[in-house]
Structure 1
């Protein structure tokens, strides 16, 4: 029996052991307000409060596929950022080769898979205390003093807007309290892990002014050893601080001033040798013979030896932070909310973009600075027959990037045709340098509203509408000089680094909307159906344009069209067994026209992502959520998603590596079979019907916790054992699916064993990836069609001890 079949059988047996389980998708809040169990097992119970519809209400009353992970689950499972959250949320995907090149997707949609292009929006909005974060890098930071995380699945454009065509991640931090409280947590583990968190809150002026302060710091040794520098890389080095001041100005007006600063400064992020695959380049231009020409061999051809020899500095410094002021004013029949915010993001990277220990590309860095300003005003009313929310939103972003790429002495032989005399002259490309100056200005304005009409005590109709205006202006200037400082380039030099200067623009209005009908079939059974028509703003290419046959930039692809989304969803939310069990089920069908795909420029030596529109893609599937608490001692959950996905029509897509790098195909010379050395390569490929990248057809998470009364050092409490597992099936790691970059399915298992008292202490040991599963997070290819495949191995087995205290 294969491992996948064994895993599926195990899940099936677990389902039989717990009557009613099918799948589940929300390892959410585990406890009621009265329960003190610090576990990740009971997921929702009708008492869970969410703000998914921009007003406070019970999770089970929201006709929306939404999952909640509360603070207890976050702390118990070690879910310290969005990347780790994916192990609890089968429908959430997160990919990152470094903080800038990260993507959070829901149901496989959201951001193009590949290198980040600053000229487009993400399709999954990240909100922290109601403030939109335009940079997905915010999702790479550790959660700091978080109360709960809501994952809203499906288009959320009406209320969340700003291109949340795939969903939203709504993070709520703990708020200032007029009751004094403090928390502290310390974790130590293998790989030199040391992590500390603390928060304190209380009144400054009784019933008028309260403050909350929180801080966290964490470090961990890297997981990849660089033999060239004798250092471990891909480490963790995080610092975060947050302060909040709550002023109860009047009985009906609260003002909350918040400020935060977060910093990461790891030696990161290495992608290392995984394998090679045949392309259509001539054999002497593919990896094996190129490496032999330099008498080069990677330190290991087994990525799970975790060795590399990168010879360019690695750095992934970033800092993010800002200030916000939130006003909540109970006026008339509803609440007026104003959220004003300024956010910044500074990025200071250094990469080795040839991925090996040869001086091919010696400099690859795109330091960037961004400022964003946003203002949202909402008025929300809950009435006997009508609930509604209306609002206005304004946003402005400015980003400035000053990038550089420089070639080294091995570049000529590696990148140029070996039949050319230049290939044997290192000086042709050595010192060839491109310095880029990139500016983005983006403005968005919106008016929105959503109404919930209680037609009867059981039937509700909920229409929503949003009018949005987006404008983007960009500037891209690349100045290329030779090693001697000249700007006079040969055709071969321009083919490696091309000077470019262009000023793309985009502006447009769009109207999005949704309609949801929900019906209470019984007291604890609600069914709903939704149709949403949504848009993701058009974009501009700000990573350099692809080149034509004469190595000149193709200005016609300076902008891409908006995505147009049609989304259908039906679902049912149920509770039974005196609300000790919850089972939610949803089915969805999403079609996107003019899907914004990131593709990789095929020019030699250039690793740049640019944007293209796929004519149509489709994602459809079924998700289910189940949790049960048979007794106060035992809690169980299981979650799952089946997702069918494909490019419905994409006839001019970039070709996968096995069809790239050869001579230009024509009518007289049709494309060669994949992987034919010195073959004929098509200019583009029809990948209609193929998989979308990054999406597993099957994904599960499952687990539970069992506790027993116990006493330790005179303290009454509970000893507990918890388990959390997850599985995902094979997925593609390339925009055009390739035989070389599919990532096989894998499963991870995490355990914890500890002792806790009711209101003070919690100490537990934990182990993650307990069975030391070998898996890849992402795979990618080296530029130039050499056939080299590189990747990031997932974390090996880690373990440690955590001590927590509440005061």
Structure 2
């Protein structure tokens, strides 16, 4: 906090000057660099009446954002950025990052549980697959300017949110942490000197209940203001466990947030914020989806193995939403932190300090064999993360011949993980070779093999102690040189240092507690101990040319050279032929990014129509990919560098306000992302598991996982003015739809894990008063579309494919009011 406190002390030595309020800002709001300013029809919450439906949908007026660390119209920002207001989040049901994907076609989000989550923009950001703590994420998550280092720590419900800005493309010369794919910038509502309160209540099927409330007002007139907010969400699970008689994949979230705003002087303000979130749902299940043929001998594939136990899943149709998992599920996490933000206006510039400390405590339990047999009876990796960050930034005030932003950033993160994996009595049969035919009645070769001796693997236990320290420091800056009234050049530069140190120790014991293992046991759980270390300096930069072609027509061209820090493998290493870890795989090299973008932002018909276009091309060398170990018993993947990846595409954001009653929007993204050079990739399951299966495969030319070539979001709202009880308002009917074409759900594309394209339709009917009451009925996934969020294969190449079905049709009612 030292830099923030220094600002407070230093202001006493500088003559005070009246701080200019951001143009158009509400008079009662605590001024801040992050204030959302909306010109046009305003509902009092910072949402444009003409643009409630979501990103790039304002259809009129100006939305002022701080994407470039200064307040400016979103239409004049020379980068691809979409804005979603707080009212739009509530009405579309987008109350967390995952649900943003239905209104943001360029955003992808995949999660098997909070820790194993990935947010991608334009197909880039994090390797698709199980999370590895030793690498950075390519999409930065910021809440009130504070960087959240792990996507898991951003799986909270949005509470008291003013707006969300989604920035596409590398963001390293304006933001504290270097992010190569983009940023999600979340701004909450600020304390107000005018007393106000908000409440939102939602109830729906699946026992869905959500309550949100906030209150704000002065503690000392014009000097000290406070804001408190809270949120509670609960929902019954969508999948029924026939073994336990309980529904799983539930929701159970609670959060609190408080802010104190102090106008210490006319030119100095400080905001102290603290938040706490607790989640404890019975989650997260992946269930039987289908069976595919691998290269394993038939006696070692799923159908034969299940038959040997007389096992049959409760349903072979995942959309019956049944499972019989025999390991308790838990996804408990606590996350929170404190921050202090200071803004000091020294006349020509504003100096900003952002100091923050955050924690994330993760306590899971998973069923990693995905079926109701005791193969892996325990799979859990409790983890505790702490981070501190300090950003100091200076930005010029107003517009001059040359404007600038410059900053220093420091970040330190520690993670401690205690992994535990225990094999059960069915593990031997499932994971070991039953021998060569002929087979006896029990399906094993004569004489009996290790596979038919449960004691070989029953109770085999791996206890993993994992430590990680991540230190990052940077200096960054960007100039905007106005060469005339309509043309500017904006170069930026970043100097970055990263150091990562890790420790991975896996102690494996047999069911009797012995550390002396057979080769069969080491092939399933191998003892490992290694201490990877990585450090690197790099220099990156970008340059943007912006041209105001006309008053409401703006074009830009950008080139960026960016880096994503190298990393270390902290999920165990692949094994050699002797079942020993391959130490050369302990680290992965940094990604090197060359990014090119052209954009055009237009408004016409008296700003009742907005059409924005962006075209991009991104080349990445040494792409960090999650790959799967060929060993039969390995449950987790590891990291490796693909030679080269390329993604390119075109995006459209459009909104229309043809009449005072009608809003229409349509957003589209075409994304062509593929491996250009990946010659030693893991083979897909259909080519794996056999004695003659290739050790690796050349997947150059294949598409990247998790990315739909086509994605759309579209919708409309029609409102009719009414008067009820002498109060004005309107009755409205809204529709929001989305479509994503098919995509691969495996790091190496497989015919078994491709997910078909799907579309989702959401409808709402409600009444909105002029005094802040909003009540509406909603129907989401109106046509009960069956779709998978992701598919995955069972370890060991048995051919079992498991899936995570998307939510079925849901319905309910939401009532909100502001006072």
Q: Is structure 2 residue 543 aligned with structure 1 residue 527?
A: no
The one of 281, 300, 303 equivalent to 2:318 is 303
Compute the displacement of 1:262 (Å). Answer: 0.7
Q: Is structure 2 residue 359 aligned with structure 1 residue 347?
A: no
Change (3 A) 1:792 1:573: same
CA distance in 2, matches of 1:226, 1:655: 33
Q: What is the match of residue 759 of structure 1? A: 771
Compute the displacement of 1:690 (Å). Answer: 0.3
Q: What is the match of residue 33 of structure 2? A: none
CA distance in 1, matches of 2:362, 2:233: 19
Compute the displacement of 1:161 (Å). Answer: 4.8
Q: What is the match of residue 397 of structure 1? A: 413
Question: What's the secondary structure of 2:312's corresponding residue?
Answer: coil
CA contact (8 A) 2:110 2:118 kept: yes
What are the residue-to-residue correspondences of 1:366-765 with 2, within 5 Å?
A: 366-382=381-397, 383-419=399-435, 421-663=449-691, 680-765=692-777
Compute the displacement of 1:37 (Å). Answer: 6.5
Q: Is structure 2 residue 65 aligned with structure 1 residue 50?
A: yes
Q: Deviations over 1:76-105 (max 9, x none)?
A: 111101111010100000000000000000
CA distance in 2, matches of 1:39, 1:641: 21
Compute the displacement of 1:715 (Å). Answer: 3.6
CA contact (8 A) 1:31 1:44 kept: no
Compute the displacement of 1:332 (Å). Answer: 3.2
CA contact (8 A) 1:370 1:399 kept: yes
Compute the displacement of 1:120 (Å). Answer: 0.2
CA contact (8 A) 2:408 2:475 kept: yes
CA distance in 1, matches of 2:795, 2:369: 8
Q: Deviations over 1:238-289 (max 9, x none)?
A: 0010000000000000000000001110000000000010000000000000
Q: What is the match of residue 105 of structure 1? A: 120
Question: What's the secondary structure of 1:289's corresponding residue?
Answer: helix
CA distance in 2, matches of 1:572, 1:482: 64
CA distance in 2, matches of 1:243, 1:602: 49
Compute the displacement of 1:47 (Å). Answer: 1.3
Compute the displacement of 1:49 (Å). Answer: 1.1
CA distance in 2, matches of 1:46, 1:472: 46
The one of 215, 225, 228 equivalent to 1:213 is 228
CA contact (8 A) 2:39 2:63 kept: no
Q: Is structure 2 residue 233 aligned with structure 1 residue 230?
A: no
Question: What's the secondary structure of 1:629's corresponding residue?
Answer: strand
Compute the displacement of 1:622 (Å). Answer: 0.3
Question: What's the secondary structure of 2:412's corresponding residue?
Answer: strand
Q: Is structure 2 residue 810 aligned with structure 1 residue 798?
A: yes
Q: Is structure 2 residue 182 aligned with structure 1 residue 167?
A: yes
Compute the displacement of 1:760 (Å). Answer: 2.5
CA contact (8 A) 2:722 2:730 kept: yes
Q: Is structure 2 residue 42 aligned with structure 1 residue 33?
A: yes
Compute the displacement of 1:31 (Å). Answer: 6.9
CA distance in 1, matches of 2:556, 2:494: 21
CA contact (8 A) 1:160 1:168 kept: no
Change (3 A) 1:44 1:562: farther
Q: Deviations over 1:424-465 (max 9, x none)?
A: 110110000000000000000000000001100000000000
The one of 303, 321, 339 equivalent to 1:324 is 339
Q: Deviations over 1:115-154 (max 9, x none)?
A: 0000000000000000000010133211111100000000
Q: What is the match of residue 315 of structure 1? A: 330
Compute the displacement of 1:43 (Å). Answer: 3.1
Compute the displacement of 1:319 (Å). Answer: 1.1
Unaligned runs of at least 5 residues, structure 1: 1-27, 664-679
Compute the displacement of 1:203 (Å). Answer: 0.4
CA distance in 2, matches of 1:581, 1:252: 38
Compute the displacement of 1:75 (Å). Answer: 1.2
Change (3 A) 1:570 1:46: farther
CA contact (8 A) 2:602 2:611 kept: yes
CA distance in 1, matches of 2:787, 2:470: 38
Q: What is the match of residue 783 of structure 1? A: 795
CA distance in 1, matches of 2:58, 2:684: 42
Compute the displacement of 1:162 (Å). Answer: 2.5
CA contact (8 A) 2:228 2:258 kept: yes
What are the residue-to-residue correspondences of 1:67-106 with 2, within 5 Å?
A: 67-106=82-121
The one of 149, 165, 170 equivalent to 1:150 is 165
Change (3 A) 1:713 1:286: farther
CA distance in 2, matches of 1:466, 1:732: 35
CA distance in 1, matches of 2:363, 2:583: 29
The one of 132, 151, 154 equivalent to 1:136 is 151
Q: What is the match of residue 674 of structure 1? A: none
Compute the displacement of 1:565 (Å). Answer: 0.1
Compute the displacement of 1:187 (Å). Answer: 0.4
CA distance in 2, matches of 1:341, 1:316: 26
CA contact (8 A) 2:51 2:663 kept: no
CA distance in 1, matches of 2:474, 2:337: 23
Change (3 A) 1:773 1:787: same
Compute the displacement of 1:609 (Å). Answer: 1.7
User: What's the TM-score once normalised by structure 2's chain length?
Assistant: 0.92
Compute the displacement of 1:761 (Å). Answer: 1.1
Question: What's the secondary structure of 1:412's corresponding residue?
Answer: helix
- Report how many aligned residue pairs link the two structures: 764
Compute the displacement of 1:779 (Å). Answer: 0.4
CA distance in 2, matches of 1:470, 1:269: 33
Moved more, 690-699 or 152-161: 152-161
Change (3 A) 1:649 1:38: closer
CA distance in 2, matches of 1:233, 1:29: 42
CA distance in 1, matches of 2:38, 2:217: 25
Question: What's the secondary structure of 2:658's corresponding residue?
Answer: coil
Compute the displacement of 1:605 (Å). Answer: 2.1
Q: Deviations over 1:9-46 (max 9, x none)?
A: xxxxxxxxxxxxxxxxxxx9997437656831633545
Q: What is the match of residue 23 of structure 1? A: none
CA contact (8 A) 2:52 2:85 kept: no
Moved more, 751-760 or 300-309: 751-760
The one of 264, 269, 286 equivalent to 1:254 is 269
Change (3 A) 1:168 1:312: same
Q: Deviations over 1:622-674 (max 9, x none)?
A: 001110111210011000001111100000000000000000xxxxxxxxxxx
Compute the displacement of 1:791 (Å). Answer: 0.8
Change (3 A) 1:662 1:123: same
CA contact (8 A) 2:404 2:480 kept: yes
CA distance in 2, matches of 1:45, 1:630: 10
CA contact (8 A) 2:50 2:59 kept: no
Q: What is the match of residue 294 of structure 1? A: 309
User: What's the TM-score once normalised by structure 1's chain length?
Assistant: 0.94
